[in-house]
Each structure stands twice: as structure tokens, then as C-alpha cells.
Structure 1
């Protein structure tokens, strides 16, 4: 089915009653209103909850009742809009029928998934249909993995502009992060661990840094994730594992592959937490590494996952207050080296907590950007944020989502 612009809606938020969905609705109301040129609607499985979201957020737009298990209803929903944005996760449990519906209907799609094994399934199952229909499917449009993916894109563009070519290696350091991951992200991680515990194919996908690249480009130099305490050779600071690295690095390598590997066949990218120097930095790095390893081990135990879901994670629709969201922030540094040894350092910052306030705005801007994305430049298929949007999204995020992309030092 070829995409049609003669549809009732430009954009539909599926999962508007989720906490991130509500923040997204507020963002869309503030940016586009409810009676302006953007024709948008909200969707979810409960009419009463959708009415409450409309009242609470000011999103007095059409409400559409549909469940993530209703294939026929989702097909009708996808056919009614140019862009469908979903906050209904874990996506491996609730997102497959949504992606299938969009791929068949020629409907552009954006989400917040960080589930590598599920993205691989969706690419393998629906890429051909999306190519044929013209649907642009863009996963990972939140904190995982827009800051990393676009941070690498920005760094490479500035390296080409300011130095002697692209970087053959980039290392990202999280130097500050206040607010942490969302309950939805943690729930998705729990499901990933549960799948990996019982399926060796899932474990193989999760361990492969090129797992999301097209089949003919799923190879390259070893790129082990940072899992143990290490020293940064440039600063001497202690490094520890970054919980999002196993997703972000795979997305960046897919971007590189989709672009035709312009940064060279041996391009390497790694992420880590910068925990400072001295004994305190060493203690933090050791504690984080041990805690991460123990945490993954515990999540593999079903009773632990059940207890976390029941007693620890936020319930659907719950999350930090607006004040807490505004108090959050993040600061990422990208350190690149070209083939000649020239070096560059760039910075990506956000002015909201990464898991909720900033993520919702990133998702909203990516979804609206799809409406303006020329089809002769970006056709149907599965894209990453950087490969689909590039500088277009950088500009939107700086203007409307509180992110900043800057060059720290072209000769760092």
C-alpha cells in the first residue's frame, strides 16, 4: 500500500496514557496546539483514561480506542494517520503488531524502544514491506539512542569540516546524568534479560555490536562493551559500564552501515560512564561494574523480576513530578580521532531528566520531523535517527527539546 497524505490525521500518539505519553501530549499541545495545522489524535485501550489525559494535558483532540493485541484495530489506526508514534512498551511484548501495521500501511513510525533483539526481529520481518509501502520506521527516538546517535553524527560532520576527515574511532563519556532511566526502560531491560536467559540466539544478538546492521554488513573489528573498571588513557579518569551502551553502540553501527560506512570499515565506537579520578573514582567504577553484573544476574531470576514489577517500578501513568523532571539533566562528551591522529571533542547536553522529560520531547520532535522528511531522500524501510534525519533533527532538538550540540575543542 503506497503512503497517502489524504488521511484524517497527521500524527497519532499511541500509548498517550503512559507517563511519557502524557508528557509527549503536553509537548505537542505547547508546540502545535489542538486546532492548528498539525492534525493529531491520541490512542490507547481505555476511553476513560484517554479522556482523563485530554483533561490533564490539554490534548483535547480525537480519542481512538484500540488495544496493542488488536491487529485489525491497529491496521485501521495505522491507515488513518501519516505518522504513528508509540510509547507502549516493553515493545517486544506490546509493539510487534503496531510495527507490522505501519509497515503494511505505508505509515511512518517512531518509538522509544531500546530492545535490540526486538528491533532485529522487526527489521528481519518487516523491512521488505516497509520498503514497498514507503513506511519509514524509526526506532530508539528517546534517550536511547538519539543523544548517542546524533552525537556521533554531529562529531563526524564537525570533524570533516574542521579536521582532515571523519573519525575512525569515537569514545563517548557520560560525565553527568541526573534523573536516570524511566520505569519503562527498566521494564524493557527486564524483558530483554528474561529472553536472553532462555534463548541463545537472543544472547548472540545482544553480544554482537553489528547485530542491527544490514545482513551484508554485520561484521567489523571487535568492539567489546565496557563492563569492568578501566582508566581513560586521555584523562586518567576511571570508567565504568553505561547501562545504555549495549543499545546505543548497535544503533550507531547501523547508522554507519545505512550511510554506506563513510567513516571507514574499521570505525569503532564505545560508551562508558566517566566516574572521576583518584581512589573515589576507582571505588565508583568498581561499585558500578559489580552492581551492573549483579543486577543483570538478579534480573535473570523470574521471582526477582516479578517483585521489581510489583513493588519497585512505577505503575503505568506514574513518574517524577514536573519539578523533578526540570531538575534533571545530562552531559555527554564525544572524543574522536581521525586516521591522521587529529582529535576532536564535542558535547551533547539536555536540560531535563533523560528518562522522562527529555525523552518525551525528543520523541515528539522526531515524530513531527517525519512529516517533513522528503521521501525522495529517505524512502521506506527501517532507519536510525541519525540516518533518517541528520542535521534536521539536531536543529529541531536544539530549538524545541532543550538539547545542545557543541564543539568543545577541535584539537582536544
Structure 2
């Protein structure tokens, strides 16, 4: 009797592949040979899985699974975060790594794409438990990474504390100080603006969208933001700095939304930052004047008038009905601060509205472009480590803004090459520009041929 292995379902990865491939069809129609190249590049160069055994505070043995997906190195060392969360599995990490390849290409820096992490949950764990886990995790991961090979960073569940432990473990195991991780503390090789970079960069990208589409800026714009973590916090602070109104934040328990024309303040967002460092939720804070907390909700349907939406929480948090609600509320711009927060159905609503309604529709900035600011500053941290120097806040922020403006222009120019629309699709532009860059490098190195 013959045995046929069933195909393992990888829904998040399959969604990412489908989204990118669908927007590359105009390119494949002109150059069919590139469809086979895409089939090659969607397969990771290497997938590493390993056992992580660590000791809890009761002296008991615990075990988790560790992963590193090294997706593509044609543009530089593998680069991408480590995620510690119970939901981590190979499908999610392959989706994140695949997106990272094209995101990194848009920064203009020499970085390949990868992603990794574990199903370990740092929430509720003591500092000593997290340290012991990180040292055990790095004992295996250290075999596969290096400053010129693979440079991980933080992601969900991996902040400055975890990066510090991981860096200390690598240094102890390998007996070398190198820029093998980014997101480090400033005193041992980190970069200014790294914590702020993804949120700031998303707003800079959205600012370019608003400028090109309408000749305006953020002043007076009503901005709905999801999430309450690092990305959402710093996006909110940058919106306030640029004169916009922040109408919402959210977390896994519910959403805090404006009931009128009030905006969240810098002081309140700083309170949220302190709360999140302690593992708290928005429901633990008193809602400021002009705001209400809605249990178990996301913000998209709860605000009646919106100019800009910045989904900054997690994947697939904004669905078709949410997209329609934003359109009805007058939203003109969506820029993704999270990775793949919009479902394929939501993206279709955005893209269709722009084609049918023009300037009254929604212009959509995909995550691989709009949230590439975080990895861009990670790349700048790598450069600083290599030169054994550090730049000040103003220098890094200026470089970040320039990278985001260039990423936007790259997406727009590529989109225009395949469309006659006055406001062509930025998601098509992002995918076309980044794929072209990666596939040409792969061809030059003999990874694909046609």
C-alpha cells in the first residue's frame, strides 16, 4: 500500500504568498519566466527547528520549540525578528520571513530576510525564568547566526530585556562582541530611535501618501490606531507631533475610542507605555475625558469620522466589514504598522474604492513598505556596530525619514510603470519593486535562471 503525505496547512504563509503573487500577475503576463522564479523564491533557503529546555523558578524542567526561518540572503545577511508567543508556529514564521524579504528590499539597505522565535510565553514569567530561557534558546541559535550571516532583532514578546539576555548569551557562548542582534541597549551597541522606528516610519510613510494624494499633511487629521504596544505608542506620539488627532488605541481585551473630537494626549500615551511594561491592559486605566472603553472590540467600526487608519496590532485584525466601516467613515488612507493586519478581503475593499472613487476612496500602504522603518533602523544599527560608532537622535531620525520617503517613491514609481491610474496601487508597486530587486540579485548569484 502506497503512502501519500498530506500537505501541511500553513494558512498565514499561504495568505502572504497569495497576496504577493496576485499583484505580480501583470509582471508575469509580460515576463512568464518570472513565475517560476517566484516559485523558487517562496521556498526558504533554510528552516531550523530545535528543542529549548529551561528551568523554571520551581526547579522544574520546561520545554518549548525554537525556530529560525532563513528565507533569503541574496541582498545581505538574513535579517528579521524573534517572536516569543504561544501562537508561534512555522506557518506564521514563514509568512513573516517571506514578507521580511521584500520589506527589507524596500529599505535600500543590504539585508536579506528571515524570522524566528518560539512558542514560549514571557508573560507571567520572572526575569530569571526569561533569562534562563534566552540562554537555552541561544545555545542552539548561536550555531546559525552571526554579524555577516544572520542578525535577528526583537518582535512580539522580545523587547530590550530579552535582546539583552540573548546578546549576553551569544557573547558568552561565542566569546566575541559583534553586532549579531539589533535592538540592543544603547550602552552596548544599540541605536537611537530604534524603539520608535516602526511607529515613526509608518507615520512618515502615511505623510507621503497624504502629501502626494491631496497636497496636505497630518494637521487636523483624525487618526484611528489599533494596538497599544511599541508600534502604536510611537505612531501615536508622532501623529500628535505632526498636529494630528489620535482617536483610539486597542489591545487584546478591547478598544479605547473617542466619542467626539477629543484626542489622546502625550501624557496618556506615556501612561499606556508604563502600563504595558508591567503587562497591563487598557481596561486597567481610567478612560480620559471624551473617550470610552469597549470590551472585546476593535476600533474600526467605533469612530464615525476618520481620515487615516494605522492598524498596528497583529495579523488579520482588520477584515472586510471593518474596511467598509472605514470607507463609510470617510477614511482616505490606511498605512499598516503591523505585519499583514488587513485580510485579503479588506485589501480588496481598499483597492476597489480607490479605483472607483479616486480621491474619495482609500489609498492603502501595505506593511512591507509602511512598517519597514523598524528594520531600516536595525540596518542602521548594524552599520554603526560595524564602524564602532553611534549617531545621535537627529541623525538617525533624519535617515529614517529619508528611507521611508524613498520607499514610498519606489512603490509609487513601480506602480506607475504598470498602471495609468493617477493614484496607482501602492501594494502592487511595493511587491513589483521588491520582487524585481530580489529576483535580479538571485539571478546574478545563480539562485534562479531564466
TM-score, normalised with respect to structure 1: 0.38
Higher share of residues assigned strand: 1
TM-score, normalised with respect to structure 2: 0.36
